[in-house]
A and B are shown apart, each in its own frame.
Chain A
């Protein structure tokens, strides 16, 4: 038993999925896609930061600001969900998953509502950002 566990850990520690593995959603739960999106948005914000630091007046332009808003607000809304989930909020009791098709309990129940709330928050924040980026900025 212990030996099998060690072999398992060793196998996965090799991480042979690489970058493409981020999007190899073997079990197509929405959380699995959110993970890929969270990682990509995180990297994109870092890439935005670099020229913004180098020349602090630099902006990605009117529509660039809008796209940046979508990226940032998604990362924030999903990030809040991740913080809550990782601190143990709204996570169901663990249960032995017997079949690959069986969804883990931790993704059911209140966790579903947390996903819905995060996506809702994303839309609200994105609309507010877009209002400032496209309408207020264009007027000044």
Chain B
């Protein structure tokens, strides 16, 4: 993927985090709205699935950007990027699994 595309997605995920993260905070902390979100598994789970994906992309790409800036070497850049992609996907799968177990759906 072109680096400009990667960064464009970095901004898209940032906005997604702002929206889904707010819903996540409301669900867990707002005394009146919270229970309404939590009692609907589709909204709660759908929100968490998007939130987790956006968060992991943004966080891991952020770390990747910092690392490849500190080690500006084409060979290292390639390996860092692949490592981040693989760790990110594994974390997402594990995260979804934890979520489904916590909700008693698996």
Query: A residues touching B (Cβ–Cβ < 8 Å)?
Result: 13-15, 18-19, 39, 42-43, 45-46, 49, 53, 56, 76, 79, 83, 86-87, 132, 136-137, 140
11 additional contacts (CB under 8 A) given A13-B72, A49-B59, A136-B29: A18-B70, A43-B66, A45-B59, A49-B55, A53-B91, A53-B95, A56-B98, A76-B18, A86-B7, A87-B11, A137-B29
Nearest CB in chain B: distance from A59 CB, A: 10
Could you say which of B7, B11, B62, B70 contacts A46, with CB atoms under 8 Å apart? Answer: B62
Asked if B90 lies at the interface with its beta carbon under 8 angstroms from chain A, I say no
A87 proximity list for chain B (CB < 8 A): 11
Query: B residues touching A (Cβ–Cβ < 8 Å)?
Result: 7, 11, 14-15, 18, 25, 29-31, 55, 59, 62-63, 66, 69-70, 72, 91, 95, 98, 102
Could you say which of B11, B25, B30, B66 contacts A86, with CB atoms under 8 Å apart? Answer: B11
A140 proximity list for chain B (CB < 8 A): 31
Q: How distant is the Cα of A43 from the Cα of B69 in the complex, in angstroms? A: 14
Could you say which of A15, A56, A83 contacts B70, with CB atoms under 8 Å apart? Answer: A15
Do A14 and B72 touch (CB < 8 A)?
Answer: yes
Q: How distant is the Cα of A60 from the Cα of B37 in the complex, in angstroms? A: 24
Do A42 and B62 touch (CB < 8 A)?
Answer: yes
Between-chain CB contacts (< 8 Å), 22 pairs: A13-B72, A14-B72, A15-B70, A42-B62, A43-B63, A43-B66, A45-B59, A46-B59, A46-B63, A49-B55, A53-B98, A56-B102, A79-B14, A83-B11, A83-B14, A83-B15, A86-B7, A87-B11, A136-B29, A136-B31, A137-B29, A140-B31
Nearest CB in chain A: distance from B67 CB, A: 11
Nearest CB in chain B: distance from A58 CB, A: 12
A49 proximity list for chain B (CB < 8 A): 55, 59
CB nearest to B63 among chain A residues: A46
A42 proximity list for chain B (CB < 8 A): 59, 62
Nearest CB in chain B: distance from A41 CB, A: 11
Nearest CB in chain A: distance from B73 CB, A: 9
